[in-house]
Structure 1
């Protein structure tokens, strides 16, 4: 743990953080994202149609 001394004699400790790893999205997550997007668009369209039908 890295410790530094601030103004006024206060100590500030910083935790050692793990290295960051960047993961590439796979094709399956892209496809499931599209499914969720299309399903959400259909739900919105149905809600708008219902609102027009009620009014």
Structure 2
């Protein structure tokens, strides 16, 4: 942690910043998994909307 003290004696603490890195493009397997998760999420949202319409 990085600490500074100003002329009035007030202490400021700064968190250490993590090392940055570039992300990698997802593999075809990951892309298909993301598409499957998106489809499941779409079906889930559609089911919630249909239940709300039937209940109202």
Into which bin does the TM-score normalised by the smaller protein fall? 0.5 to 0.7
Aligned length: 55
Q: Which has the larger radius of gyration?
A: 1
Task: Give the number of the structure whose residues are more often helix, by fraction.
Answer: 1
Under a length normalisation based on structure 2, what TM-score does the superposition of the two structures give? 0.54
Runs of 4+ aligned residues of structure 1 deviating over 6 Å after TM superposition are none
**Aligned residue for 1:33?**
34
Structure 2: segments with no counterpart, 5+ residues: 1-18
CA RMSD between the two structures: 3.0
Aligned runs of 1:9-48 on 2, under 5 Å? 22=22, 24-27=24-27, 28-48=29-49
Under a length normalisation based on structure 1, what TM-score does the superposition of the two structures give? 0.54
Structure 1: segments with no counterpart, 5+ residues: 1-18
Q: Per-residue deviation at 1:25?
A: 3.8
